[in-house]
Amino acid sequence: MEPILDIQNLDVKFALRTGEVTAIDNLSLSLAKGERLGIVGESGAGKSVMGFSIIKLIRKPGFIAGGTIRFRDTEISAYSEEKMRDIRGNRISMIFQDPMMALNPVLTIGTQMTEAIHAHMDVSKEEAERIALEKLARVHIPSPEKRLAQYPHEFSGGMRQRIIIAISLLTDPDIIIADEPTTALDVTIQAEIMDLLIELCDSDGMSLILITHDLGVVAEVTDRIAVMYAGRVIETGPTQAIINTPKHPYTQGLIKALPESRKPGEALYQIPGMMPTLTDIPSGCAFNPRCPMKGEICMTKRPEAALADEQTGHMAACHLVSGDLAS
Ligand SMILES: Nc1ncnc2c1ncn2[C@@H]1O[C@H](COP(=O)(O)OP(=O)(O)OP(=O)(O)O)[C@@H](O)[C@H]1O
């Protein structure tokens, strides 16, 4: 299927006083229409920087140093800031962990929604209100007419996130990038918001990029997963393949660390060590200091993505998968 978003060889760097560091390293990913893609990895893997790069919201000292980003059949990586505003918050929306950050506490929900509509669409006040009501109903907010006149503090955390999703839907976007959208919410509300995102993708043909450190959540929600480590995608494939037959020792560790993998009476597993900082990425495979299966070659040669399953496109950047290291 023709991808709606296609990222090729993306490099993002930060110009620090001590020199340039690479936050996203030669990343390639594509997203099909209606597809739900999960981006997982521990803190510092580069998930958020990747999400911001897609909508070109990388601020100094960060910059996109190379690669291409195609949205539909247009290359948007070369777009000016002005042209990008037609895409951002319009065709591609991004939502974050804390809905309060995105809402103005002194304006009613109705005002914020209609302002967002007028920023992208030339419609009357009445039409803007109609769209706002329709989207609030779309995200299952009860009594939307009454809710339009209320302020953000009058809503619960879960309801505020629904409002953010409603705002992100105002322009019927093609893609929603959701960066840890439920991390601040309790588990039941988290599941409701995830169900809502699935419903919106299924019914409206919208695509979703779900960024989270929680492999358990992406397993429930996504069709495909990309696992990131130190700015690279180290494994990608259909969700079931990643969960059931992970190939990269890092992904295997993430799965072992899931609460549901714990056996009764055992302590919760933790991958030893930490994600490297950008100024200190090990040579060879960046995961080598933490890898239980490393060999000589892992210390010196960086593994390229190798196909683990041709049919599904399951790939892993590991010398075990390429056959350079005997398992
Ligand atoms: N403005 C910045 N200046 C320098 N380094 C930055 C900046 N923003 C992010 N980084 C670095 O880029 C790397 C990737 O950060 P990013 O926020 O994308 O990670 P993440 O996987 O989303 O983690 P988390 O789950 O904690 O949000 C980190 O090492 C981070 O320190």
| Model pLDDT, residue 282 | 96
In order, the DSSP letters of 9-23 are EEEEEEEETTEEEEE
Assess whether the C-beta atom of 44 lies below 6 angstroms from ligand 1: yes
Q: Which residue's CA is minimally distant from atom 31 of ligand 1?
A: 44
State ipTM: 0.96
Q: What are the CA-CA distances from residue 19 to residues 15, 61, 280, 286 (Å)?
A: 6, 11, 12, 19
**For residue 48, how far is its CA from the centre of ligand 1 (angstroms)?**
7
Assigned CATH topology for domain 3-91+171-322: Rossmann fold (3.40.50)
CA 300 to chain centre: 30
Assess whether the C-beta atom of 48 lies below 6 angstroms from ligand 1: yes
Q: What are the CA-CA distances from residue 178 to residues 6, 9, 21, 119, 315 (Å)?
A: 18, 22, 26, 21, 24
**Bridge pairing between strands 74-75 and 62-71:** antiparallel
Q: Which residue's CA is minimally distant from atom 10 of ligand 1?
A: 23
Q: Which residue's CA is minimally distant from atom 28 of ligand 1?
A: 44
Instruction: State how far the Cα of 306 lies from the Cα of 223, in Å rounded to an integer.
Output: 20
Instruction: State how far the Cα of 245 lies from the Cα of 243, in Å rounded to an integer.
Output: 6
CA angle centred on 12, ends 11 and 13, rounded to 5°: 120
| Model pLDDT, residue 184 | 82
| Model pLDDT, residue 99 | 82
Q: Is this prediction's pTM over 0.80?
A: yes
Helix residue spans in 170-230 (DSSP H): 187-204, 215-221
What is the best residue among 22, 40, 43, 49 to mutate for testing ligand 1's pocket, by most ligand atoms within 8 Å of CB?
A: 49
Q: Which residues of the chain have pLDDT under 70?
A: 1, 327
pLDDT single digits (tens) 233-287: 999 999 999 999 999 999 999 999 999 888 888 899 999 999 999 999 999 999 9
Give the atom of ligand 1 at the shortest distance from the alpha carbon of 277: 29
| Model pLDDT, residue 278 | 94
Ranges of each domain in the chain: 3-91+171-322
| Model pLDDT, residue 327 | 67
What is the best residue among 12, 48, 234 to mutate for testing ligand 1's pocket, by most ligand atoms within 8 Å of CB?
A: 48
